[in-house]
Structure 1
Amino acid sequence: MRAFNSLLLLVFLLIGLSGCAQRPAPEEPAPEVIEEAEEPVEITEPGPEAQLLQEPIRFYLDIAYAGTNNPRQRLDILVPDEPNYVPMPAVIYLHSGDWRSGNKSEAQQAMMALLHRGDYAVIAVGYRLTDESIWPAQLHDVKAAIRWVRARADDYGIDPQRLALWGDGAGGHLALMAGVTNQAQDMAGNLGAYTHIRSDVLAVVNEGGVTDINALLSQSSEIDRASATAPEAGLVGGLLRENVDIASAASPVHYVRETTPPVLSVYRMEDTMVPHQQGPLLHGRLDDAEQEHYLLTVIGDDNEAKRTEVKERIYAFLDRILLGRNLRVNPAVID
């Protein structure tokens, strides 16, 4: 009987141990999933950006700056692989296209020589065109982009205190408007997450931008400015003669004041789109206000030598303002 009881005890003990072995272990807490903030992706594999991959730069494309999904409210950041300054000053580039066409990718060619110098980062900014929005949407986009760059500058090794604008054609007009309205909060719009950040710049480069829209009606060009198809009509939302107030509000000549940063403008005497007289209209105001300014006039047919000379003078201007170099900007006519 004692042996039987011992055997029975052993059986119960084995059953108990078996039950313990089959009991599931307590569940461990699932690992915390941390959602990463949406960040630009650096392109490192061949694709549509193959040309950029051949250059000694890093680049980040199609970054939203206004808190929207609008593909036109995007910017690209181009950074030298081996910058000469840390952090780097930056040039914000605005493309051409009569406010109704064009793309920020224009900067990839226009600004590559500047990037090769290693002194500046380049930010190429897209903005809403006139098939989508009229004035002042374009200015508000540019201001929002400047604020985004200043707020996120540390992420890309950019100096938020040393920003300049460079625009061509319609981009020149927008660069001027953004510059001459430095510190004008009522002109800054309310786009994006950084409305508390300032949107002023230290310098403006303007290549052939319109400075006085209403004055175009009395200046000779191949465009009929009185027509509904004129690019300026698209900008102001109707015929210029019927929208004089809006055209004035969109004209840089009316905003020159002591907060206007140094300006360098380039106008070509043979330009059939934007009359060269647009340059003196603005620079006369800058002279009266005793603001630093340079008006470069190019005469004769376009050629590589003249384009190179223009670029060298622009570089001297940027180096003078953003790098603090004691350089003279040559104002002589280029012919």
Structure 2
Amino acid sequence: MARCGRWCLPEASETTGDARKTCGEEFQLTDVLIQENVPVGDSGLLVDVFRPAKTDDPVPALLFLSGGGWRRKNRGDMKDRYGIKMAERGVVCIAGEYRVMTEAPWPAPLHDVKTTIRWMRNSADRLGVDPDRISVGGSSAGGHLALMAAGTPNSSDLEPPYFEGVSSAVATAIGIYPVADLLATAEKSDLSELFPDGVTEVALLDASPISYAHPDFPPTLLVHGTGDVRVDYRRTVRMYDALEAAGVPVDLHLYSGQDHVFDREDLYSSPIADAMALFIKRYAPAAVVAVAD
């Protein structure tokens, strides 16, 4: 571990197996309840729900979105990568989905993410979650959507028609090798189906998380491999810098030499799950209830 605090640079050989100790807290892993293909109201969306089996009080929740270049749905990949791991660490994890570009153009994918956030808040009692401790995260294209949702809460032109009156705001945000700047992505990826009216600079800026790095952005955890040939890690560094300049609590974990989707290996996904759970519990703490004498 080169440096810790708000900026972390883990070396692969130094982050394996001991992340709980370096974070200063150990997790008591718990059994997990799994529900798959749960409908999100009448929106047509489905989610998989991973819950700690033994909880008496409402717990924090994380909506996690898989990547796929806005073209592929990979919700099932999240079960072993983060779904079970987060529930073991005391966080209800919702593996979400969103319409891909062949199904609907922008901002439909973002609408789907916000629909699911609203559904989680509306269904908090049934899910066993604290409605004030809902976070959103994702990897690659899913990370892009997670950061966009975090940066545009309750924005009238970017809100879905489902669960009206329910807030889409989140307590924290997590981006794992996220696409934070679409302007830097257009040259490598064909986004014409996502933006059928034209892949213009204005359209890309309006759909880029870095454009929304404002003081009200929720506390954010960013993770990236420095050997990523698909999404340049320096764009995530820029997102970190922009959030820090705005006064937002933000952590950045850079994994030396790791390529895109390096967290498919448990060697990396386990310590990242530790970091996510600690971050969520740090910035979305349980309410302190006063006890009368």
1:74 corresponds to 2:74: no
Q: Distance between the aligned counterparts of 1:82 and 1:132, measured in 2?
A: 39
Q: Which moved more, 1:304-313 or 1:124-133?
A: 304-313
Q: Unaligned stretches of 5+ in structure 2?
A: 1-29, 288-293
The structure with the largest alpha-carbon Rg is 1
Q: Distance between the aligned counterparts of 2:106 and 2:143, measured in 1?
A: 15
The equivalent of 1:180 in structure 2 is: 151
Equivalent position to 1:115, from 87, 93, 97: 87
The equivalent of 2:191 in structure 1 is: 232
The structure, 1 or 2, with the larger RCO (C-alpha pairs under 8 Å, 6+ apart) is 2
The equivalent of 1:213 in structure 2 is: 182
DSSP 3-state at the match of 2:123? helix
Q: Distance between the aligned counterparts of 1:127 and 1:87, measured in 2?
A: 26
**Deviation (angstroms), 1:307:** 4.7
TM-score (norm 2): 0.79
**CA deviation string 1:109-143 (max 9, x = no partner):** 122222122x1111111110111111100000001
**Deviation (angstroms), 1:309:** 3.9
1:254 corresponds to 2:229: no
Equivalent position to 1:58, from 19, 23, 33: 33
Equivalent position to 1:321, from 276, 283, 287: 283
- List, as ranges, runs of 4+ consecutive aligned residues in structure 1 with deviation greater than 6 Å: none
Q: Give the aligned CA root-mean-square deviation in angstroms.
A: 2.2
Percent identity of equivalent pairs = 27
**Deviation (angstroms), 1:284:** 1.8
Q: Distance between the aligned counterparts of 2:54 and 2:171, measured in 1?
A: 24
Q: Distance between the aligned counterparts of 1:175 and 1:128, measured in 2?
A: 14
Equivalent position to 2:101, from 127, 130, 136: 130
Pairwise mapping of residues 1-335 of structure 1 onto structure 2 (< 5 A)? 56-65=31-40, 67-68=42-43, 70=44, 73-83=45-55, 86-111=57-82, 112-117=84-89, 119-190=90-161, 192=162, 194-216=163-185, 224-225=187-188, 230-237=189-196, 240=199, 243-301=200-258, 305-323=267-285
Change (3 A) 1:269 1:282: same
DSSP 3-state at the match of 2:169? coil
Q: Distance between the aligned counterparts of 2:277 and 2:37, measured in 1?
A: 26
Q: Distance between the aligned counterparts of 2:76 and 2:50, measured in 1?
A: 11
DSSP 3-state at the match of 1:122? strand
Query: Which amino acid is the alignment partner of residue 114 of structure 1?
Result: M
Change (3 A) 1:256 1:211: same
Q: Distance between the aligned counterparts of 1:213 and 1:249, measured in 2?
A: 9
**Deviation (angstroms), 1:266:** 0.8
DSSP 3-state at the match of 2:179? coil
